[in-house]
Amino acid sequence: MCGIKLTNDPTFRKIRSILESHHEYWNNAIPLIASENLTSPAVREVAISDLAHRYAEGWIGERVYPGNEYFDDIEELTLKLLKQLYKAPFIDARPISGVVANLTVYTAFTKAHDKMMAISIPVGGHISSGPLSAKSGSFIGGTAGAVSRLNVDYIPFDRYGLNIDIDAAIKAFREKEPRLVQFGASVFLFPHPLKELIPVAHEVGAHVNYDAAHVAGLIAGKQFQDPLKEGTDTMTMSTHKTFPGPQKGIVIASQDELAEKIKAAAFPGMTSNHHLMHVAGLAVAAAEFLQFGEAYSKQIILNAKALGQALYERGFKVVCPDKGFTESHTLLVDITNFQDSIGLGADVEQRLEKAHIVANRNLLPWDILEKRNYLNPGGIRIGTQEITRLGMKESDMITIAEFFKSVVLDKKDPQTVAQEVSEFRKEFQKIHYGFETSIKAYEYIKIV
């Protein structure tokens, strides 16, 4: 292999060409996937460091591998910044995704065949809370044993109000006595009624977890409910949605007494090496959020409400208009009224994608009653966190709503709209609410 120039390798050239096309598409598109975001140049700078080549199994100061002196300092700083951000006594940042964070909690606080209650997938729950992926490990001497499914039941939900049915949930908790209650969702428009429900969950002996994957940034930015203050035992999250960091997961505990179970479940239970470059990126993202997070989170919600209103005024059935459409980054749009002219979720999604508008098809809470499934559901889901990161404001939401109207209602050629979208995006190429370089991040971290 010595002397071979990789730039002349056909595979390298092919991958490079595909990446160039990928970047060109996204630089000329309106990104509205509610589960994605952009990292800052400063986060990207540390994420491609030598840490990408290294291993650091175990906890700080207790590594299985040598050579971790400097990484220990990085992870310690990361946890310090995250604790400051979330006002929490203990955080484990080793899970490599939000799903792994959830599995870490399941493993730490349940045993095989325990009952878990969560939001069901058809009404917005995440797949990691469904019966095919909610798993619990038994631990013997710190070693993961057999992994078995939890018995998953669902928290009663008001399909049309897009939130938990409080009275029915209280009754269900007392009747079913779950070992674990998990709040949070993938379609998460409104804060959950934690103050009413957590005391009842604790009354029946349940551990309470709050999956904050979608709203982690809004919580840190003080624009959503604070689950730890409201009594949840643990909070899990991914770090790349409304929190615009690298793709990773976190488990937060409300009290130090829970720490050892979480640590044992995270390693060796759910992780080996934990993507060290992303831990460093997470430190920078946390520093960014300490400085810019509140303003960023406010603008995300302002944009979501403005886009919901603009779409609604143009004939789109944005759900919950009587509740202001949303209190988060997410909108849910019922597009079944276009079934005869365009189709359902998959058809609208594809048509929008050709116009460089990227929003995913999504189940409506009442789709199951109409026997529709996730392959071609009755809705689309929209998120405003990434377009806000690009600097868009409320007036730009009107422009985006006009693009939707052109593609879906007016049936304008998507390729023509794509050209208009590309022209619109020329003004929004810079990432806002973040540091331009890691030096800027370091200067800020020194004073935190």
pLDDT at position 208, please? Answer: 98
The SS3 call for residue 84 is helix
Cα separation, 253 vs 220, in Å, equals: 15
Sign of CA dihedral 165, 378, 191, 94: positive
* pLDDT single digits (tens) 25-51: 999 999 999 999 999 999 999 999 999
Q: Is a pLDDT exceeding 90 seen at residue 130?
A: no
Q: Which of 67-81, 115-129, 159-173 has the lowest mean pLDDT?
A: 115-129
pLDDT at residue 2 is higher than 60: no
Task: Spell 97-125 as b/e; 16+ CB within 10 A means b.
Answer: bbbbbbbbbbbbbbeeebbbbbbbbbbbb
Q: For residue 196, what pLDDT is reported?
A: 98
Question: Which pLDDT value is given to residue 255?
Answer: 95
DSSP per-residue string spanning 373-436: -TTS-SEEEEE-HHHHHTT--HHHHHHHHHHHIIIIIS---HHHHHHHHHHHHTT--S--SS-S
Torsion angles phi and psi, residue 142, rounded to 5:
85, 5
Residues 60-88: what's their mean pLDDT?
96
With 70 as the cut, is the pLDDT of residue 445 above it? no
Q: What is the pLDDT of residue 29?
A: 98
According to the model, what pLDDT value does residue 145 have? 34
The backbone torsions φ and ψ at residue 102, rounded to the nearest 5 degrees and listed phi first, read -60, -45
| Residue-level pLDDT at 261 | 96
**Residue 437: predicted pLDDT:** 73
User: How far is it, in rounded angstroms, from Cα 88 to Cα 69?
Assistant: 25
Question: Angle CA(41)–CA(45)–CA(51) in degrees, nearest 5?
Answer: 150
DSSP 8-state assignment for residue 257:
G
Q: Of 27-36, 148-157, 363-372, which has the strongest mean pLDDT? A: 27-36
Q: Could you give the CA distance from residue 238 to residue 245 in angstroms, rounded to a whole number? A: 9
Give domain limits for the chain: 44-289, 293-425
Top pLDDT among 145 and 213 is at 213
Beta-carbon neighbour count of residue 254 at 10 Å?
20
Fold of domain 44-289: Aspartate Aminotransferase; domain 2 (3.40.640)
pTM of the model: 0.93
pLDDT score at 97: 95
Has residue 93 got a pLDDT over 90? yes
Per-residue pLDDT of 280-306, as tens digits, reads 999 999 999 999 999 999 999 999 999
- Contact 401/311 with Cβ under 8 angstroms? yes
Q: What's the mean pLDDT in 197-203?
A: 98
Q: Which CATH architecture has domain 293-425?
A: Alpha-Beta Complex (3.90)
185: nearest Cα among 237, 136, 133: 237
Q: What percent of the chain has pLDDT over 70?
A: 92
DSSP for 349-365, written as a single string = HHHHHHTTEE-EEE--T
**Cα Rg, the chain, nearest whole Å:** 22
Check pLDDT > 60 for residue 121. yes
pLDDT at 180 over 60: yes
Mean pLDDT, the chain, as a whole number?
91
pLDDT-derived band at 345 (thresholds 50, 70, 90) equals confident
Question: SS3 breakdown of the chain: % helix, strand, coil, rounded to 5?
Answer: 45, 15, 35
Three-class DSSP category at 85: helix
Mean pLDDT computed over 59-63: 95
